[in-house]
């Protein structure tokens, strides 16, 4: 049963328990009826397997030259476009989960499968759903869920005039993941197509092919720069749940803030080394000449540890 059904049964059980307690003992028929229903619910709750979280679902539709109204889509474009989108989301998920090498197989690909569960009409496209091999933990977004959201934010940022959303979305991703998103947008541009991506309560939509081409320019390597750097300074603090840090650059009063990559395991460990001189490896992401974003790539080697070796 899904989470909503489970919650409804819990609510009904509480109501029945209250009603039974308020029903006089001499009302044998009423108490018997309520008790029988309560026993049914207890049986369902004890035997029912609950999906703790609904799988991520998205709706990806296309329009433009390769699409024939709501009737169909050219097969060569449809298969190429959906494959490019799947590759983008898979690479983004791998990047968010712990880093992505420049070459080689995408790690843990089997954990980031998308299912096509239906066609989506209006224009023409597909309904997609996260594949699950077991139960999904409640109140916890899966990496694939985060990847679809990040991909949607990246596309939205690519058509906005403000660079903030684009820079924030790109700062957590490896260059290879960004390349996969570029490949998807390039597939649209080459085929004079547009798309709309609906996920959760958010809808992203390209309005025309010109906007697709503009998006491709915005996320190109010429405009969206990523560079690995080594910085020296002293950590001022870390928020381990939000996975953010503050670092004062050595010899200056400048304090930078940044995010912490998944590859850095126990981020709270950094708080045991505040105000100690340290070198850190960061990925610096910048859109155009905008404000840089920093991503801590690895746990630093503290100076006192290095001196002991």
89: closest CA among 131, 136, 133, 152? 152
pLDDT at 211 over 60: yes
Average pLDDT, stretch 276-291?
91
pLDDT range class, residue 262, cuts 50, 70, 90: confident
Tally helices (H) and strands (E) across the chain: 8, 12
Who contacts 118 (Cβ-Cβ below 8 Å, separation ≥6)?
A: 126, 127
pTM assigned to the model: 0.76
Confidence of residue 64 (pLDDT cuts 50, 70, 90): very high
At residue 177, the 3 state secondary structure works out as helix
Alpha carbons 289 and 32: distance in angstroms, whole number: 74
How distant, in Å, are the alpha carbons of 66, 93, 150, 227, 237 from that of 83?
16, 15, 18, 28, 42
């Amino acid at each position: 049963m899904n989470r909503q059904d489970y919650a409804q049964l819990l609510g009904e059980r509480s109501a029945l328990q209250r009603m039974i307690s308020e029903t006089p003992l001499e009302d044998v028929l009423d108490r018997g009826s309520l008790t029988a229903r309560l026993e049914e619910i207890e049986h369902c709750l004890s035997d029912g397997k609950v999906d703790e979280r609904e799988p991520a679902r998205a709706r990806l539709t296309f329009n433009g030259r390769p699409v024939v109204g709501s009737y169909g889509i050219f097969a060569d474009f449809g298969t190429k476009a959906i494959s490019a989108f799947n590759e983008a989301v898979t690479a983004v998920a791998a990047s968010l989960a712990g880093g992505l090498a420049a070459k080689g197989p995408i790690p843990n690909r089997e954990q980031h499968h998308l299912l096509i569960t239906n066609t989506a009409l209006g224009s023409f496209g597909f309904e997609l759903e996260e594949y699950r091999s077991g139960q999904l933990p409640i109140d916890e977004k899966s990496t694939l869920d985060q990847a679809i959201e990040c991909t949607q934010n990246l596309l939205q940022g690519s058509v906005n005039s403000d660079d903030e959303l684009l820079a924030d979305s790109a700062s957590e991703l490896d260059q290879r993941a960004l390349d996969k998103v570029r490949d998807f947008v390039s597939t649209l541009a080459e085929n004079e197509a547009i798309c709309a991506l609906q996920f959760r309560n958010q809808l992203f939509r390209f309005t025309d092919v010109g906007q697709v081409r503009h998006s491709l320019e915005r996320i190109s390597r010429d405009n969206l720069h990523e560079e690995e750097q080594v910085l020296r300074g002293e950590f001022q603090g870390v928020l381990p749940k939000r996975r953010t840090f503050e670092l004062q650059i050595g010899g200056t009063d400048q304090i930078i803030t940044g995010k912490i990559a998944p590859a850095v395991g126990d981020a709270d460990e950094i708080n045991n080394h505040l105000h100690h001189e340290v070198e850190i490896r960061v990925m610096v992401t910048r859109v155009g000449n905008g404000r840089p974003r920093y991503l801590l790539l690895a746990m630093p080697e503290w100076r006192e540890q290095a001196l002991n070796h």
